[in-house]
Amino acid sequence: MSDVAPPKIATASTWWVQIRGKAFGPYSLEQMARFLAEGRVRQTSMVSQQPDTGWTEARRVTELRAMRTPKASNDAGASEAANIFVHAEIISGSWMAFMAALESMGQVCDLAPGLWLVRTKFTSGVVRNTLSQTLERGDRFVVVDATRDRLAWFNLGPEVDVRIGKVWNGPLRAEAKA
């Protein structure tokens, strides 16, 4: 009889997430699914079942990969169909994953290079969170919900965030007097 213990096998019941070098958890697989659907955990987030033994990107974990499907929001009007415009600049190799995610959210009409109209039941925030999980550093996009008068964006930078807020929520410019 051997005195060597069998290797420990990690169970899928607990997960940890690393944010800015700090570990958070443990979380159940159900919680991780919710975090992924909400965009709180991205496909590039570092996750582990045993944080002291190493970390890996969420997209490389089989159990988490299937959890990228968007969930309908509880926001008012979210269950009704909406017309959403998406404009993207994708410079990484993420084009196919981005398009698969976009097409999973509703009927898509290609309007011009990098510009689509989507008929969907999802809010602009859900669309943004779902699409952002497919992209890499340097990729960026804007989501305009023409039906619900909402705007969402990804990776445009803090200066642009401020400028968007000033115009989107700001007063109309006084018209020139004749």
Q: How many domains does the chain have?
A: 2
Question: CB burial class (10 A; 0-12, 13-18, 19+) of residue 126?
Answer: buried
Question: Omega into 26 within 30° of 0, i.e. cis?
Answer: yes
Q: Are residues 94 and 119 in the same domain?
A: yes
Residue 174 lies in a domain: no
Residue 120 lies in a domain: yes
- E strand segments, 10-114: 15-19, 22-27, 46-48, 56-57, 82-89, 106-112
How confident is the model over 67-101, as pLDDT tens digits?
655 555 444 445 689 999 999 999 988 888 889 88
Are 58 and 48 spatial neighbours (Cβ–Cβ below 8 Å)? no
Q: How confident is the model at residue 35 (pLDDT cuts 50, 70, 90)?
A: confident
**24-43 burial, b if ≥16 CB within 10 A, otherwise e?**
ebebeeebbbebbbebebbb
Q: Are residues 100 and 123 in the same domain?
A: yes
Q: Are residues 104 and 164 in the same domain?
A: yes
How confident is the model over 124-170, as pLDDT tens digits?
989 998 898 888 888 999 999 999 999 999 988 888 888 998 888 88
Which positions ≥6 away from 170 have C-beta within 8 Å?
Answer: none
CATH code: domain of residue 143? 3.30.70
Which of 35, 13, 153, 36 has the alpha carbon at shortest distance from 86? 153
Q: Are residues 89 and 159 in the same domain?
A: yes
Query: DSSP character for 72?
Result: -
Q: What is the pLDDT of residue 44?
A: 77
Question: CB burial class (10 A; 0-12, 13-18, 19+) of residue 104?
Answer: middle
Residue 59 lies in a domain: yes
**Could you tell me the two tokens for 42?**
């991205």
Which of 128, 109, 130 has the alpha carbon at shortest distance from 118? 109
Predicted TM-score (pTM) of the model is: 0.59
* Beta-bridge partners for 140: 89
Residue 175 lies in a domain: no
> Among 43, 68, 93, where does a domain finish?
68
- What range defines the domain where residue 59 resides? 15-68
CATH code: domain of residue 27? 3.30.1490
Which of 131, 148, 140 has the alpha carbon at shortest distance from 97? 131
